[in-house]
Amino acid sequence: MSSDTPVISAAQICKRYGIYAKPVDRLKELAMGPLRQSLGLAPARYSTEFWALRPTSLEIMGGETVGVIGRNGSGKSTLLQMICGTLTPTSGTVSTDGKVAALLELGAGFNGEFTGEENVRLSALLYGISEEELARRFSSIVEFSELGDFIGQPVRTYSSGMYVRLAFSIAAHVDADILVIDEALSVGDVRFAQKCARYLRDFQSRGTLLFVSHDLSAVINLCTRAIWLDRGSVVADGPSKEVVEAYLAEQHAQDRSATGAHVRVTRAAHLEARPTSSRSVTEAPQQAFEFDPARSSSDFGEQKIRIDQVELKSEEGHERAMLGGRLVELVIRATAIDDVENVIFGFYVKDRLGQRLFGDNTYLAYLTSPPKSSAGNSLVGRFRFRMPMMPAGEYTVDVAVATGTQLDHTQQHWIHDAVSFHSSDQTCHGLVGIPMLDIVVSQA
């Protein structure tokens, strides 16, 4: 549970590095600086400035789970290292309240010549764990890491996955109040990654989690809040779903700008769905809300095609009754603003956290003769499918129309949360369920 007390506080922290063309320039700057200062002259500069992180202030409350996202070189690792105290800010202050356990660079803090066991003891000493307490926890650390006899081998012989196993196992046994992870879980096998995920979910109930990840699904799934960094500055800080969606839209716009396409991005702070009627629906566990083009929405695209209307309804014609297993139809109506070729319609169904559960597009269906349209013409994309079982909760549908191919396309108009629906199904377990054709129990 999140508290009202910050456990991480950063005030205008930043990190600036000097980039030198030649090694001797560093010596010149060190030698000439004091001399010129004594003569009342401005210090000589033999370097160019590089800001790994520009002045940034933030507070993270106790119990929060915060993801930090951004492209490589945006300052994510620098921010985490300053919070952990392994890197000193150029200016500004940062403070933490509680014991911090960190998984930063792969193998950071390990001595490659020491065995796994010796590194466990070294790490325990750094975390302030006594010999008696370590003796009680050592077998559990080894068991969690699943390293077996490799615990007695020098860690320089470890694979990247083994490094992570050992580092995470130690961090999981130091009774940390704050856990900081820098992309460490991107290596290793899927089974251990799932084991770590289970631990993190348990840790969320009692501690504060801060991590960097390029796995945006993990950020949406685990985090209530996300911070988006770009070129050392904070671009957005807010609910993880909204920040990730804005980040993905911006990345698509930047990627397509290299091809000459101009993708416009519109961000909305709050996305709301409006019911088609105040009448309650008791006969079906899922209730849909229709598309309202007038409402504020988050969308992006080059705008050579614009989506005008989105409908989600059952085959029986009910706009609200969409039971799991029932045939439904999603209709996306759009208008071509310019002449366009190779048109692709698509959609995603997402849960309340923004996780993409399922979706499809029209590309493969029209691979031999891609649709095209002249300016002013209308286009319609239709999808008929059986609605899977959905656990009780809120769901939304992203819709899009693009031009190009499956692997190389430009989004013309993507609308987040174009329509939404509510499921009250209490029988589904997992993210989605499938309508079973038959269930039989018999003696062998």
Asked if residue 119 belongs to a domain, the reply is yes
Structural domain tally of the chain? 2
Rounded to whole angstroms, the Cα distance separating 69 from 243 reads 9
Residue 273 shares a structural domain with residue 153: no
Q: What is the distance in angstroms between the CA of the first residue and the CA of the last residue of the chain?
A: 49
Output the six-digit token pair for 13: 């922290």
pLDDT 10s digit of each residue in the chain, 444 long? Answer: 566 789 999 999 999 998 888 888 787 777 776 776 777 777 677 778 899 999 999 999 999 999 999 999 899 999 999 999 889 999 999 999 999 998 876 556 788 899 999 999 998 888 888 889 999 999 999 999 889 899 999 999 998 888 888 988 998 898 899 999 887 666 666 778 778 888 888 899 999 999 898 888 888 888 989 999 999 999 999 999 889 989 999 988 888 887 777 888 876 543 332 233 332 322 334 445 566 655 545 789 999 999 999 998 877 665 554 667 778 899 999 999 999 999 999 999 988 778 889 999 999 998 888 899 999 999 999 999 988 888 877 788 999 999 999 999 999 999 988 888 777 676 777 778 877 778 788 887
CATH of residue 329's domain is: 2.70.50.60
Instruction: Using CB atoms within 10 Å of the CB of residue 259, give its burial: 0 to 12 exposed, 13 to 18 middle, 19+ buried.
Output: exposed
Tell me, rounded to whole angstroms, the distance of Cα 259 from its chain centroid: 26
Output the six-digit token pair for 193: 């990654």
Residue 233 shares a structural domain with residue 317: no
Asked if residue 252 belongs to a domain, the reply is no
Residue 33 shares a structural domain with residue 165: yes
Residue 19 shares a structural domain with residue 167: yes
Asked if residue 175 belongs to a domain, the reply is yes
Asked if residue 319 belongs to a domain, the reply is yes
Q: What is the CA radius of gyration of the chain?
A: 27
Rounded to whole angstroms, the Cα distance separating 107 from 110 reads 6
The contacts of residue 156 (CB under 8 Å, 6+ apart) are: 112, 113
> What's the pLDDT at 340?
95
CATH of residue 168's domain is: 3.40.50.300
Q: Give the domain-ending residue among 189, 223, 239.
A: 239
Residue 236's nearest CA partner among 251, 220, 247 is 247
Asked if residue 429 belongs to a domain, the reply is no
Residue 203: give the domain boundaries.
6-239
Q: Give the domain-ending residue among 196, 222, 239.
A: 239
Residue 204 shares a structural domain with residue 288: no
> What's the pLDDT at 410?
93
Residue 277 shares a structural domain with residue 370: yes
Output the six-digit token pair for 141: 């650390």
Residue 231 shares a structural domain with residue 273: no
Residue 295 shares a structural domain with residue 416: yes
Helices 131-145 and 116-126 pack at an angle, to 10 degrees, of: 130
Residue 223 shares a structural domain with residue 286: no
> What's the pLDDT at 217?
84
The contacts of residue 93 (CB under 8 Å, 6+ apart) are: 10, 11, 12, 13
Residue 10 shares a structural domain with residue 110: yes
Asked if residue 284 belongs to a domain, the reply is yes
Tell me, rounded to whole angstroms, the distance of Cα 72 from its chain centroid: 14
Cβ atoms of 407 and 361 closer than 8 Å: no
Asked if residue 346 belongs to a domain, the reply is yes
Residue 385 shares a structural domain with residue 278: yes
> What's the pLDDT at 281?
29
Asked if residue 16 belongs to a domain, the reply is yes
Rounded to whole angstroms, the Cα distance separating 298 from 381 reads 21
Residue 179's nearest CA partner among 274, 104, 230 is 104
Residue 208 shares a structural domain with residue 93: yes
> What's the pLDDT at 26?
80
